[in-house]
Structure formats: structure tokens, C-alpha cells
Amino acid sequence: MSNYLDMKKKLYRVTNRIAVFILVVTVLIPLTLYAQSPGNPVSISPGNQQRPVVAADGSGGTIIAWQDRRNGKSEIFVQRMSADGNPMWQSNGLPVCVQDSNFLPAIISDGTGGVIISWSSYRGSSTADIYIQKVSSSGAMLWTTNGVSVCTVVFEQNNISMISDGLGGAILTWQDYRSNNGSADVYAQRVNLLGTILWGSNGTAICNEASSQIGPKMVSDGSAGAFITWADNRAGDYDIYTQRIAAGGAVQWTTNGVATCTMGTDQLQPDVCRDGADGIIITWSDFRSTTDFNIYAQRVGPSGAIVWVVDGVVINNNVAYAQVDPKIVSDELSGAIITWTDYRTGITSDIYAQRISPLGAVQWTATGVIICTAVGDQTVSQLTIDGNNGAYITWEDHRNAGNSDIYAQRIASNSALNWSADGFEICTMANNQGNPAILSNGSLGAIVVWEDFRSGSSFDIYEVGFNTTGIIAVENEVSQIPYEYNLFQNYPNPFNPSTTISFQIPETGNVKISIFDILGRLTDIPLNEVKKAGNYNVVWNALNLPSGVYIYKIEAGSFTDVRKMILIK
């Protein structure tokens, strides 16, 4: 067996060299199997379609929402795309809201194959309010026509962040100007699976301190509540504050929030992810040096206590010039991966990334790992998990003078870049492609959605999927037999009620997947059969089980491995 696997490893390396050669050749020979994809059209109707947001449909596909001007006014539309990139609903999408002046949608999965969409809407008013709609897996609008009103109090409400409550509903937070003093506050609201408002008319105050609170971001607390973080000007410059709100709408920590970072000068642009241990990790752009912005991070426990050094850990070792717009995802090992836009050359912006451990130690090069330093500006980076403790990162790229394109890169947990330096071409069609959004496909790959001006007359919406090797259009991929056994982290995690368990085996044999509760009691055996060498996904449904930590185990030949997953209802 040892000799057999050694031979397969050699064959695998040779195959990879051949694949690299093919990828190089495709630069010179377009439209071959491995050429960059023009993308799959989501909506190409007249008028501008912009600001796409994306959620998983639970079947390997996506549901995408955007703001749409096909009818001469700004409406909200939605489309479902299959796992192989084909539209599943009406051509060019379904209307979610046909009232005028609707902007900046947010979207989440509803846990049953549909989505919940929220947006800001003027509806003939001079100030924006917030509305929400639920769309079924078949494209039916399930709540009030043109959306349920979340907040219609006087003056502006905007800058929405939204998460699932884990029970088929949603929790929203936003900037709110109802105080009419020119400054924003932070409010939140929960909507249940029937579209019923749960936390009182027009939301509950998360922070209404004097001066402005801006840019709220939110993540689930795992108990139908949420952690919310924001930039706060109460002390005369912007600091980072955080609050936890319970499922019933009661704030859990100090009134108006707990200080996460209060260093002198400004801390802005916070983003947040869960830490895998009932707390969170927050990142932000920080001007404490007084000469330029740098990236910092802090871990906060479930009771609001600071876990790492006071005022945060520097992520990029204070390199010169500005580092801004950080984005964060969990590394699924209680740490996090952060990406940002970086001006350290003093000339153009690039994309960098860093990983931080559960103890607050940076794991990669002290100043961050280069994701892309191609000529021209690289901006608007977004990231998602890769299912194996690394991340996929996508961005808007201006290396081709006069145009912006979409590129992506995969970075492994050890900081190795899986694709060519400066990224993989997602779309380099004529004119501009911008505002990318990225989502894990649950099978170790990802899907990118963007707004696209290739027509030269208006923006349309396109998407494309890719696999672990960066090859566009997964359905055309040349199959590769793995050279080793692997059990990967389930996705999504936490989940409700179903999740995908992925594994690979290098030879034919019986594969058994077993599920145990935290006490070690056998709960289910979703797979126990002979499988050929290859890569596989098993979808496990825990509809009838209680919330908690579960263990899944693989037994294949002499190989065994276990991982944890969290069910939240």
C-alpha cells in the first residue's frame, strides 16, 4: 500500500506540473478549458444593475439581490443561480420591491433554501427607511408586498448589517439619525420567520450616546442574539465599542456599549467574526500612530471582557502609509484571517492579509502576506473561508490601465498562496467590473458575484464559481484523484439545520461517517458505503436534534479523523 500511495503522489505532482503548464498556455490561447471565464449572467436587463449581494441556497447554488434601474427607478431584484451557474427563476430576476428609490440591499440565507433581503428605501421621502422581505426557494415573496417596514421613524436610517437569528428570521443593525442632531446612533431589530417585528416599533437602541456612532457590523452570538460593533465618537475622536443583545432584545453589557479600543485619534471601519468559543474577534483601521492608519484586532469574550492586550494587537507591524478597509473571517480554529487595502508603497494600493491565533499572535509575516501587488490599484477586497482553515480573497483590480477587473487568490492556513502571484483572473472582460462579493460554495470552492459594464451602456450582474485550483467553471474541471486522505471542516459552521461534510480518499474502499454528541453518544451515521477514490460531500440534516456541539468522525481504510461542529437553533 505504501508503494502504491508513493506512486500516486508522484503522479499527482506530475499532473500538477502539467496543469500549471496548461494554465500558462491559456494566457496565449484564449477560450480553452482553463481560460478565465466571462462569467454567468445573473441579470443583463436594460438600465443599471449594481451593488450585488449573495447568499447560499443550501444546494450548492446562490441567491443574489441587487439594486436595479430597468424601469427608470431604483428597485430591488433577486435571482437564484444553480450550482452550475444557470438562472433558476425568471430571466433577469424577480422584483422584490418596485417602489422608487431603494438602495444597498443586504442578504442572508433563511436556512430552508430561501433568503431574507433588507434595504434602505426613500419611497418618495427625503430620508431613507428600512424594509425587509423573505423570498422562498421557488422565488415567492413571502411577506408584505414591497417589504415589511423595519424602521420608518423620522430622519435617515441606513448602513444596514444583517445576520440570521438561527430560527428562520433575521437580526438587523443600522445607523440611525432619529435624534435630529446631525449625528448617527446605532439601533437594531429582530424579525421572526413570519415577518413579525419582535423588538418594538422602529427598533431598540444599541447606542445613542452623544456624537456619532457609525459603521455597525454584526455577528451571531449563537443563541438567537447578536454581537454588534461600531466606530464611536463620544470622546471627540472615533473609538471602537461593542454590545451584545439577547434574543429577546435586551442589551447584555454596559448601556451604550463596552469599549473595545479607545486609543487617541481615530479607530474606524470595524469588522467582526466569531471566535469559535462564544466570543468574537474584531478588526479595524487605526490612526494611533498619528501619521497613517494601521490594522488592529481584539478578541472579546461572551461577557464583554477584553481577551488580548488592551487596545488591540497590531496586524501589519505599523508599516508606512495607510492600511484601510479590513475584512475578517474565522479560520475555524478560534483565530481569524484578515485582509485589507494597503498603501505602503506610497503610490498605489495593494491587497495584503494576516492570520491571528486564538491567543492574539500574528501567524504569518509580521507585516502581512502579499495577496496582490500588481501595477495599478487593488481595492475593495472581500474574503470567505476555504473550508480548510484558509481563505479565498477577491478584489477590484486596476492593473489594466483605464479598466477595473475582478481577481481572486486562495491563501492556505500556513500563508502559502495556492495560485499564481498577484491572483487568478475571475473576469477581465472589456470596460469595468467592480464591487465583488464572495461566498463559499460549501465544497472547498467559492463563488464571486460582481457588477459588470462590459456592454458599454449599463451595469449588469454576473457570477462565476471556481474550485480549489482556481479553475473557472467547475463543471469543466479535469478530475484529479487525491493522493492522501482528508476530512475537512464542515460548512456552514455553526449551522441550522443542515451542513456539508467534505472528505477525500486516494483509493477505493469503505467510508464511514459517524456523528456523536458532546458526551460521545452515537447520534447518526450519514454514510457507510464503498466509495471510489475522489472528493466527496455529505449533507447532514440535524432537524430533530437539539442545539450543541457535535463530533463527526471518518473511518476509511486505516485512516480516521474527527472534527467538531456547532448546531444552533
End-to-end CA distance of the chain: 44
φ, ψ of residue 85 to 5 degrees: the values are 85, 25
Q: What is the mean pLDDT of residues 398-424?
A: 93
Model pLDDT, residue 25:
33
Average pLDDT value for residue range 104-129: 94
Strand 391-397 to 378-385 pairing: antiparallel
| Residue reference for cell 465618537 | 233
pLDDT confidence tier of residue 182, bands split at 50, 70 and 90 = confident
Report CA dihedral (72, 75, 76, 82) to the nearest 10 degrees: -20
Contact 464, 447 (CB under 8 A): yes
Host H or E run for residue 33: none
Which pLDDT band, with edges at 50, 70 and 90, does 477 fall under? very low
pLDDT above 80 (res 99): yes
Q: What percent of the chain has pLDDT over 70?
A: 92
User: What's the mean pLDDT in 21-31?
Assistant: 32
What pLDDT is recorded for position 472? 58
Question: What is the C-alpha separation between 478 and 467, in angstroms, rounded?
Answer: 11
| CA–CA dist 427, 448 (Å, integer) | 10
Q: Which amino acid is located at 538 in the chain?
A: V
The single residue listed with the C-alpha cell 458526551 is 519
The CA distance from 351 to 483, in Å, is 32
| Top-confidence residue, 239 or 536 | 239
Lowest mean pLDDT among 256-265, 335-344, 346-355, 527-536: 527-536
pLDDT bucket at 84, cuts 50 / 70 / 90:
confident
Q: Could you tell me the sign of the dihedral formed by the alpha carbons of 192, 197, 199, 202, in that order?
A: positive
pLDDT at 8 over 70: no
Residue 420 confidence class, pLDDT cut points 50, 70, 90: confident
What sign results for the dihedral spanned by CA atoms 342, 345, 347, 351?
negative
Residue given cell 439601533 in the structure block: 187
Q: What is the pTM of this model?
A: 0.80
Q: What is the CA radius of gyration of the chain?
A: 23
Q: Is the pLDDT of residue 5 over 70?
A: no
**pLDDT band of 533, cuts 50, 70, 90:** confident
User: In this structure, what are the phi and psi dihedrals at residue 549, rounded to the nearest 5 degrees?
Assistant: -90, 135
Map out the domains of the chain as residue ranges.
485-567
Read off the pLDDT band of 417 (50, 70, 90): very high
Element (H, E) at 15: helix 2-28
**pLDDT confidence tier of residue 414, bands split at 50, 70 and 90:** very high
Q: Counting beta carbons within 10 angstroms of the beta carbon of residue 337, is it exposed (0 to 12), middle (13 to 18) or buried (19 or more)? A: buried
Distances (CA, A) of 410 to 44, 62, 237, 420: 29, 20, 36, 10
Q: Does domain 485-567 have CATH number 3.60.21.10?
A: no
Alpha-carbon distance of 66 to 343, in angstroms, equals 30
Three-state SS string over 430-474 comes to CCCEEEEEEEECCCCCEEEEEEECCCCCCCEEEEEEECCCCCECH
Is the pLDDT higher at 495 or at 167? 167
